[in-house]
Structure 1
């Protein structure tokens, strides 16, 4: 049986979601999976909604994930998790970054940033891992590495940590950031281990 896994990565422009998806796809391809990836940008500038869809398995025919089909949603920003929930399978999993980026409408005062986002998600879903990826990335020396911390959490959640992720990082990240990102992916995998205990 050709079991295809559907991963939806969601967040805000400038968070490095596309890079994380490329590292993920690269590792999966190296491991012998058929992989399809699509990306959708919201507003062209930083701050717009960005999503990538990664599907992998023995044979994948389309990169598109329909509503109610995602095995896992990886949310790089809290409200983006709420925005894309209808894509999650009933028994799906959420890996969420405890990080807030107010939208333009929130910053202008037209809307309020939703309260207790994580609490609402935890009430609805048992299978949720919360990662404070920004804090961990800052400890590693660069907040921009939070995308790879999140990728590490996703890898552990999917139980695909037997793949050579260091190689995938090295092939997709600028040389001067390789060491930082190798530490970041390892840190993200630790979060999922802690959650599993």
Structure 2
């Protein structure tokens, strides 16, 4: 098996680091060598957060090489667009359909890209794009904070790792009082993507 390169991107407060921790733990549980690195923007809440996760037989560096991202999982539209140039031509994008305006937009210094501009950029980058209503799904479950696990649930359908491995890792990684909610979020993300494959 070749190395699989993941980039998880969002803004502070969306659970990006927890998502990359879970993804790394799933890779280890599935028997892969795993390396991981998180990069935080200037502000923890509201700043850009990027998680590099790599699975493979032997992985030497935690940073995904330029242009080699296999799976880009974006918790916010603009953050997804920022990293499209790192995607392989046959890479996969899962993007939560949520806009969080950065300071440059809210202060009037820049414009947030229109849906049309975003769609064109996504289509130009790859043929396999999933526009996931992750926040809507999380809210239906009663807690917007499980957006990250909804997105991982969708991603899990595309990977050769049993659902039970994902569930086991979630049980280990999230506080017990949130376990059932997170398992529901994982399943809801899985169901959303399975219906669209």
TM-score under structure 1 normalisation? Answer: 0.94
Q: How far does residue 25 in structure 1 lie from its aligned partner after superposition?
A: 1.2
Segments of 5+ residues of structure 1 without an aligned counterpart are: none
Q: How many Å apart are 1:140 and its aligned residue?
A: 0.4
Q: Which residue of 2 aligns with 1:167?
A: 168
* 1:157-177 deviations in Å (ceiling 9; x for gaps): 224345511110011111111
Q: CA deviation at 1:185?
A: 0.6
- 1:70-110 superposed Cα distances (whole Å, 9 cap, x missing partner): 01100110011110011100111101100110001111111
Aligned to 1:120: 120
Q: Tell me what 2:151 maps to.
A: 150
Q: Secondary structure at the match of 1:110?
A: coil
Q: How does 1:1-197 map to 2 (within 5 A)?
A: 2-116=1-115, 117-124=117-124, 125-196=126-197
CA shift, 1:45, in A, is 2.9
More displaced stretch, 114-123 vs 89-98: 114-123
CA contact (8 A) 1:31 1:163 kept: no
> Matches of 1:189 and 1:162 in 2, distance apart?
9
2:123 and 2:129 in contact (8 A); partners too: no
2: CA distance, partners of 1:161 / 1:19: 20
Q: CA RMSD in A?
A: 1.4
Contact 2:9–2:73 (CA<8 Å) still a contact in 1?
yes
* Shift of residue 122, structure 1, vs aligned partner: 4.6
